[in-house]
C-alpha cells in the first residue's frame, strides 16, 4: 500500500517530479551548508572542553598537594628557623669561649645559609598562599 505522498508523486508528470526532487536536493544542500557552521562550533567547544579539563586536572593535582602539605610547612619552617638559630647562637658562644672564629665550626656556614633560605621561603609562603579552598 502506497503512502499519500507516494500517491501524489506517482500522479505528477515527470517534469513536476523532477522539480520536487530538485527542491528536496536544494533543501538538502542548504541544510548541510547551514548546519556545517554548527559542526565547526561544536568542534571548537570540544577543543575548549579538552583544554579546560586538562588545566583543571593539573590545578586540582596542585591544589591537593598544597592542601596536604600546607599545614606542615607553615608550622615546621618557623620551628626549623628557631631551632637552627638557637644552634647558631650556641655555636657562636662556644667559638667565642674557645677563641676561634665561628665560621670554622663545621656546618656553621651551611646553617647561616639555611636561615637565609628558610626566611625567604617563609616570606614567599606567607605572600603566596592560596586565596581559596579547593
pLDDT tens for the chain, 134 residues long, are: 566 666 655 655 555 555 555 667 777 778 888 888 888 888 999 999 999 999 998 888 888 898 889 888 999 999 999 999 999 999 999 999 999 999 999 999 999 999 999 999 999 988 988 777 76
Q: What is the pLDDT of residue 80?
A: 96
Surface-to-core class of residue 84, CB atoms within 10 Å of its CB (0-12 exposed, 13-18 middle, 19+ buried): middle
Separation CA 109–CA 90 (nearest Å): 14
Rg (Cα) of the chain, in Å, rounded? 38
Specify the 3-state DSSP secondary structure of 44: helix
What pLDDT was estimated at residue 82? 97
- Cα–Cα distance measured from residue 102 to residue 13, given in angstroms and rounded to the nearest whole number: 112
Question: Are the C-beta atoms of 90 and 79 separated by less than 8 Å?
Answer: no
Among residues 53, 56, 112, 47, which one has the least CA distance to residue 84?
112
Helix (H) or strand (E) holding 7: helix 4-11
Distance CA 92, CA 71 (A): 32
Give this prediction's pTM. 0.58
Residue 35 has a pLDDT of: 85
Amino acid at each position: 500500500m502506497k503512502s499519500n505522498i507516494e500517491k501524489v508523486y506517482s500522479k505528477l508528470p515527470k517534469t513536476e517530479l523532477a522539480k520536487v526532487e530538485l527542491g528536496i536536493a536544494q533543501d538538502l544542500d542548504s541544510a548541510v551548508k547551514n548546519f556545517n557552521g554548527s559542526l565547526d562550533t561544536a568542534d571548537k567547544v570540544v577543543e575548549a572542553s579538552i583544554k579546560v579539563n586538562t588545566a583543571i586536572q593539573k590545578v586540582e593535582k596542585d591544589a591537593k598537594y598544597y592542601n596536604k602539605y600546607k599545614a606542615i610547612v607553615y608550622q615546621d619552617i618557623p620551628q626549623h628557623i628557631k631551632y637552627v638559630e638557637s644552634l647558631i647562637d650556641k655555636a657562636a658562644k662556644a667559638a667565642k669561649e674557645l677563641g676561634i672564629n665561628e665560621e670554622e665550626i663545621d656546618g656553621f656556614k651551611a646553617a647561616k645559609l639555611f636561615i637565609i633560605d628558610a626566611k625567604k621561603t617563609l616570606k614567599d609562603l606567607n605572600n603566596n598562599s592560596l586565596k581559596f579552598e579547593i
